[in-house]
Amino acid sequence: MTNHVSVPDRSWWETAVGYEVYIRSFADGNGDGVGDLAGLTDRLDHLAWLGVDLVWITPFYPSPFADFGYDVADYTDIDPLFGDLDAFDAMVAKAHGLGLRIMVDVVPNHSSDQHPWFRDAASSVDSDKRDWYIWRDPAPDGGPPNNWITHFGGSAWTLDEASGQYYLHLFLPEQPDLNWANPAVGDAWEDILRFWLDRGVDGFRIDVTQGLAKDPEMRSNPELRSLVDGMSRNEQWDSFEHRYDIMQPETLDVFRRWRKLCEGYDAFLLGETYVLDTAALTHFLEPNDGIHRGFWFAPMHLQWSPEDVREVLEAPIDAVPAGIGWAMSSHDDPRAPGRYGDGELGANRALGLFTMFAGLPGTPFLYQGDELALVDGVVPPDRYQDPVVFRTGVATDSRDGCRTPIPWEPGSPMLGFSTADDGWLPMGGRTDADTVAVQRDDPEAFVHRMRAMLLARRELLSRGLLATQPVEWTDLGSDLVSYRRGDLHFVLNAGESALELSCDNEQVIFRTGDAEGLVAPGATSPAVGAGCSVGPGEAVILQSVMLQSSAADTRA
């Protein structure tokens, strides 16, 4: 396998495919029922075999786990639940030896309320750290300073009884927001990034990218509709125009500084740009400034229809063609195969859509288990862990189903995830057929279809067929979503029945309906004009027949 880490390419992420590891649920190396760094290290070979290039790891820092690690109590250490710095270094070394790069999750919008910074800040209004967080006096009626709410529902302000002031938190009260208007916060964060860069990490996934800077006047957001009991967290959030709490222009200044630092390490900056508006997405994705990529979250909210699939693909390409992080699932959203359709249809659609991502500019990411076509695991209410569901009382707000452990092999209660009989979450109804081992032993299983697609993308890049070619959207019919990149034509059947393609002078070189991989240059493959049926959810890649003939003649 090529060692991509050793290639001196300052834009290595231009051709990378990423993979999100939700550390608690990936692999348990010490038998306590919780995933950890040792378990990840043991399973890195699977990711190298699969054909990904970049591994994003969710937070592993010391934490009280009010939000499962996104409440950080120390940004430069490892929580004993996951291992220690030696285990981290060993994981990075093995990953690099396999040609995999490592990206760690950083949480700069807020810390834990147990972080020494906040404990100092809350100890006195005269504390040197007081201004590291955002404090305000009550409104005239004694209530919160403004109408801002959290991403998890409820007011974004909590009263500190000792001082009589409120502190701001866009998430849980246990996650107070840092004050990025204070230069000392920026200085501290540069030291944090350098600490991990010096340990060999290759980049950072930036949590709450859009939230760092706030309106200095703390003005209330315009209200779009009244809040009522029983609203989900998303319904509450969408009841306001978020004019003053997120997307402030000063945030870009933070990332300009980060990018300058990361350029010295050839490191990648990827933002959790949780906005569904492409105009807002461009704010952080200046071509030579700010972050390198920002996640486009519309695919994670996609309710399948040809029109919506087309819009999800076209909108960001037209706005920020080189800056997209493509993903269809994550640790915060229901898994794609279950959202896109029942059973095999949902799996086919997920693979078809990911194939369309893979041909577009940007960096596509799998979420752990996407390669197995996993749907959400079943978590009964008495096993709920997600703090959001306890805050809102709305069962559909629970993120536990997409976080159930990865099934590795049959023969034990936890299907190889752990030697324990139970885990921090249950397996959620997984079967032997869902496991990595069983699927890898079956050449027709979904994991081989996903691997074939990833290796096909790598091969097309090596042939120079995807690197710089512009995207041209094509119209093949209402249920077909398609685009060209140079001499390649990507087509997805987003409808509900098989369709016949009829395109002159093109040949199918890859289809998601099998696991045979990319057709070799010059090899015989059915000509589209001779009849090519594309099933529901299936994607095909076509190439100019003239180009293939020319390439074969040149080699001869």
303: amino acid identity, one letter: Q
Domain with CATH 2.60.40.1180 in the chain: 466-555
4 HSE (CA, 13 A, CB side): 23
Query: Which residues, in sequence order, are CB contacts of 464 under 8 Å at separation 6+?
Result: none
> Which sequence positions are flagged as catalytic?
207, 272
Q: What pLDDT score does 9 carry? A: 42
Pick the closest to residue 268 from 195, 368, 201, 190 (CA basis).
201
Q: What pLDDT score does 6 carry? A: 32
Q: What angle do CA 517, 548, 498 make, to 5 degrees?
A: 50
Chain centre to alpha carbon of residue 307: 24
When the candidates are 1.10.510.10, 1.10.10.410, 3.90.226.10, 3.20.20.80, the CATH number that belongs to 1-108+184-208 is 3.20.20.80
- For residue 131, how many other CB atoms are within 10 A of its CB? 14
Topology at the third CATH level for domain 466-555: Immunoglobulin-like (2.60.40)
Q: What pLDDT score does 546 carry? A: 60
DSSP character string of 129-145? TGGGB-EEPPPTTSS-S
Element (H, E) at 206: strand 203-206
pLDDT tens track, the chain, 556 positions: 223 333 334 489 999 999 999 999 999 999 999 999 999 999 999 999 999 999 999 999 999 999 999 999 999 999 999 999 999 999 999 999 999 999 999 999 999 999 999 999 999 999 999 999 999 999 999 999 999 999 999 999 999 999 999 999 999 999 999 999 999 999 999 999 999 999 999 999 999 999 999 999 999 999 999 999 999 999 999 999 999 999 998 999 999 999 999 999 999 999 998 887 887 788 787 666 889 999 999 999 999 999 999 999 999 988 887 789 999 999 999 999 999 999 999 999 999 999 999 999 999 999 999 999 999 999 999 999 999 898 888 888 899 999 999 999 999 999 999 999 999 999 999 999 999 999 999 999 999 999 999 999 999 999 998 878 899 999 998 899 999 999 999 999 999 999 998 767 888 999 998 878 887 665 555 554 455 889 999 999 999 876 444 333 333 3
The answer to whether the beta carbons of residues 110 and 173 sit under 8 Å apart is: no
Domain with CATH 3.20.20.80 in the chain: 1-108+184-208
Which pairs count as long-range contacts for 158-167, CB under 8 Å and 24+ apart, including other chains? 160/122, 160/135, 162/122, 163/122, 163/124, 163/125, 163/135, 164/137, 164/138, 165/125, 165/135, 165/136, 165/137, 165/138, 166/135, 166/136, 166/137, 166/138, 167/122, 167/133, 167/134, 167/135
Phi first, then psi, for residue 315 (nearest 5°) are -55, -50
The answer to whether the beta carbons of residues 426 and 379 sit under 8 Å apart is: yes
Q: What pLDDT score does 48 carry? A: 98
Phi-psi group of 505: left, alpha or beta (phi > 0 → left; psi -120 to 50 → alpha; rest → beta)? left
Q: What angle do CA 23, 108, 232 make, to 5 degrees?
A: 70
What CATH number belongs to 116-168? 3.90.400.10
d(CA 479, CA 497): 9
Q: What pLDDT score does 556 carry? A: 34
DSSP character string of 299-322? GGG----HHHHHHHHHHHHHH-TT
The answer to whether the beta carbons of residues 82 and 61 sit under 8 Å apart is: no
The answer to whether the beta carbons of residues 259 and 423 sit under 8 Å apart is: no
Domain with CATH 3.90.400.10 in the chain: 116-168
Q: What pLDDT score does 5 carry? A: 35
Q: What pLDDT score does 526 carry? A: 54
Pick the closest to residue 440 from 346, 351, 372 (CA basis).
372
390: amino acid identity, one letter: F
The answer to whether the beta carbons of residues 481 and 310 sit under 8 Å apart is: yes
Q: What pLDDT score does 52 carry? A: 98
Q: What pLDDT score does 1 carry? A: 28
